[in-house]
């Protein structure tokens, strides 16, 4: 039975009782529009914990572009039925006023990594991500929280925040799930027209094959991608590109490849 949490205080009581009887909880924060990538996090959580909680919340403070927020896919009924099928125990679908009683007056700010790469192209994005993740982790009180490696920079920032703020929840990184042609699963893929969808697989192929980030950038540009960045950072090659109005990000390990 999948229960939808009604109020935060009811959940706090429930989770308090779980903790006292040593019931472990895994938590997966999402923005909905769930795909196999999210499902892989849910399955990992169910393997490693007694109970699993998923949140669905399209967090406005992490969108630097209002058009992107408006166009972000919303598929709540599908999402809930998928979570039921996967045997998720609890789902939390907060409204904005539930999570931002302070109207975003209190924020988390990271001042080194968050201004680079994605942060340089999306001002304020990571303040919004870290702030909402902190709120959700505090509400969930989980033993473990699951994040995909596709959003590599986000993953590193969340891990850093958890260490810096002594959060009691372990952050668990999970491998990127890909389509057969290599395209990393993303809710935004659904917005790609068929011809762009076909070309999109080139992002991963080029990232994996080209010898340097400069070559990746040149090849993608030559193939008609708008390249926001391709950059090597701490053993990882990260890229962000645009095809029409759809922005795609991906990353691959570079250690042992040189």
Active site residues: 38
60-68, 84-92, 104-112, 180-188 -> range binding a copy of itself (CB under 8 A)? 104-112
Distance in angstroms (rounded) separating the CA atoms of residues 26 and 38 = 13
Beta strand residue intervals within 189-235, DSSP E:
226-233
- Which residue in the set 139, 142, 145, 200 belongs to the binding site for a copy of itself (CB under 8 A)? 139
Distance in angstroms (rounded) separating the CA atoms of residues 113 and 32 = 26
CB neighbour list of residue 227: distance below 8 Å, 6 or more residues apart: 217, 220, 221, 239, 240, 241
83-91, 117-125, 128-136, 174-182 -> range binding a copy of itself (CB under 8 A)? 128-136
- Is residue 141 a contact residue for a copy of itself (CB under 8 A)? yes
Q: Please name the residue that has the structure tokens 């008609």.
A: 224
Smallest distance from the beta carbon of 166 to a copy of itself, in angstroms? 4
- Determine the size of the site formed for a copy of itself (CB under 8 A): 31
Smallest distance from the beta carbon of 107 to a copy of itself, in angstroms? 5
- Is residue 234 a contact residue for a copy of itself (CB under 8 A)? no
- Which residue in the set 1, 112, 180, 222 belongs to the binding site for a copy of itself (CB under 8 A)? 112
Which pair of tokens denotes residue 139? 């509400």
- Is residue 6 a contact residue for a copy of itself (CB under 8 A)? no
CB neighbour list of residue 16: distance below 8 Å, 6 or more residues apart: none
C-alpha to C-alpha distances, 161 to 6, 151, 157, 176, 178, nearest whole angstrom? 28, 15, 6, 21, 27
Smallest distance from the beta carbon of 174 to a copy of itself, in angstroms? 23
**Sheet arrangement for strand 25-30:** 3-4, 90-92, 51-56, 25-30, 144-148, 170-174
15-23, 26-34, 45-53, 208-216 -> range binding a copy of itself (CB under 8 A)? 15-23
Distance in angstroms (rounded) separating the CA atoms of residues 5 and 251 = 35
Smallest distance from the beta carbon of 110 to a copy of itself, in angstroms? 5
- Which residue in the set 107, 205, 221, 242 belongs to the binding site for a copy of itself (CB under 8 A)? 107
Q: Which residues contribute to the site for a copy of itself (CB under 8 A)?
A: 8, 12, 19-20, 22, 100-102, 105-113, 130, 134-135, 138-139, 141, 160-161, 163-168
């Amino acid at each position: 039975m999948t229960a939808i949490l009604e109020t935060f205080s009811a959940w706090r009581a429930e989770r308090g009782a779980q903790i006292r009887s040593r019931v472990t909880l895994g938590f997966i924060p999402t923005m909905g529009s769930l795909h196999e990538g999210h499902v892989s996090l849910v399955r990992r959580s169910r393997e490693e914990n007694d109970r699993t909680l998923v949140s669905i919340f399209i967090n406005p403070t992490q969108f630097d572009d209002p058009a992107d927020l408006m166009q972000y896919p919303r598929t709540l009924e599908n999402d809930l039925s998928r979570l039921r099928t996967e045997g998720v125990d609890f789902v939390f679908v907060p409204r904005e006023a539930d999570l931002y009683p302070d109207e975003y007056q209190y924020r988390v700010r990271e001042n080194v990594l968050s201004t680079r790469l994605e942060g340089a192209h999306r001002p304020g994005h990571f303040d919004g991500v870290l702030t909402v993740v902190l709120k959700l982790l505090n509400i969930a009180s989980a033993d473990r929280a699951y994040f995909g490696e596709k959003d590599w920079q986000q993953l590193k920032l969340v891990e850093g925040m958890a260490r810096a703020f002594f959060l009691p929840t372990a952050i668990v990184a999970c491998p990127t799930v890909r389509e057969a042609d290599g395209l990393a699963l993303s809710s935004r893929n659904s917005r790609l027209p068929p011809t762009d969808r076909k070309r999109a697989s080139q992002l991963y192929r080029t990232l994996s094959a080209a010898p340097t980030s400069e070559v990746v950038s040149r090849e993608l540009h030559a193939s008609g991608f708008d390249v926001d960045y391709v950059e090597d950072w701490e053993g990882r090659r990260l890229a962000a590109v645009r095809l029409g109005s759809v922005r795609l990000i991906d990353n691959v390990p570079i250690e042992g490849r040189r």
